[in-house]
Amino acid sequence: MTQWTDQTAAAKTWFEDLRDRICAAFEAIEREAGSDAGFEYTSWAREEEGNENPGGGTRGVMKGKVFEKVGVNVSTVHGSFAPQFAGTINGASEENPEFTATGISLVAHMANPHVPAVHMNTRFLTTQAAWFGGGADLNPPIPYEEDTEEFHAAFRAACAKHNPTYYDRFSKWAEEYFFIPHRGVSRGVGGIFYDHLECEDLAAWERNFAYTRDVGDAFLEVYPRIVRRRIGMEWDSEDKRRQLEWRGRYAEFNLVYDRGTLFGLKTGGNIDAILMSLPPEASWS
């Protein structure tokens, strides 16, 4: 994995820059709404017996007038997978369970039921292999076709810059991944999801990193526009009921099926950072 040290550092730096730009954009929306809410940042250190440099991360959380709860996490961790978990990870094995992972993860739950919640993450991992993964998906309690189309259009354009097959492949992957089997429903209206975008050599790393940066930039371009479109809409108790029930489905997916949740728990991540994806309130009828 040592051959990817510089590339891991470059990815980490970019993820932190993306975090800073996203948080500034979200705080600007709060100011427009007359709120002085801002992100509060908490650093955490990972612990692993016998590991002198296990890494850690920073959890940023804001609770405001528009963003009822939004978390933006950046982490860079190093270590070894537990033997029973190593075999489930690309390029890892019981014989060689070492890994390095760096990435950004974001989940926003909104106060107004007409404003869609959203999830986004991008990451770079190395085991005996090296790859990028990530994506974003829109999660409206009350869907609007205009928002869905605009969200997808942003990622369709980002994909088209790199590979004509990416959008069809990755939007279908999101449709299949963000599905709640025991409910028989989708978590939201989709987006894109990709994983194991392999870096066989430095040229492949540069291509995949460029694509991953465009995914992050596409999110930052499109989501604030959708938020601003909906924050002034009036809502009633029935709208809030729909939102809280939908949030229950969201929580079910993240606790039962989400790979990121499992990865964090299996690698000694910060519990508060891992579970920041859960909504502040939810209901089950």
CATH number of the domain residue 134 falls in: 3.40.1500.10
Domain assignment present for 284: no
Q: Which domain holds residue 235?
A: 2-277
Pairing mode of beta strands 67-80, 185-186: unpaired
**Residue 209 included in any domain:** yes
Residue 2's pLDDT is what?
A: 56
Give domain status of residue 283, yes or no. Answer: no
Query: Is the distance from CB of 124 to CB of 132 less than 8 angstroms?
Result: yes
Q: How large is the C-alpha radius of gyration of the chain?
A: 18
Whole-number pLDDT of residue 90 = 77
SS3 annotation, 98-147: EEEEEEEEEEEEECCCCCCEEEEEEEEEECCCEEEEEEEEEECCCCCHHH
Residue in this structure with the two tokens 């427009």, named with its chain if needed = 32
Residue 144 has a pLDDT of 98
Residue 261 resides in a domain: yes
The dihedral sign for the CA sequence 47, 52, 102, 194: negative
Residue 268 lies in a domain: yes
Q: What is the pLDDT of residue 11?
A: 98
Which secondary-structure segment (H or E) carries 77? strand 67-80
Q: What is the pLDDT along the chain (285 residues), one digit of tens a residue?
A: 557 999 999 999 999 999 999 999 999 999 999 999 999 999 999 887 878 788 999 999 999 999 999 999 999 999 887 777 767 777 767 677 889 999 999 999 999 999 999 999 999 999 989 999 999 999 999 999 999 999 999 999 999 999 999 999 999 999 999 999 999 999 999 999 999 999 999 999 999 999 999 999 999 999 999 999 999 999 999 999 999 999 999 999 999 998 888 877 877 778 888 888 899 999 997
Q: Which two tokens stand for residue 137?
A: 């998906």
Q: Alpha-carbon distance 2 to 16, whole Å? A: 22
Question: 150-162, pLDDT tens digit by residue?
Answer: 999 999 999 999 9
Note whether residue 269 is domain-resident. yes
Number of domains in the chain: 1
Annotated active-site positions, please?
119
Q: Is residue 218 part of a domain?
A: yes
282 assigned to some structural domain? no
pLDDT of residue 96: 76
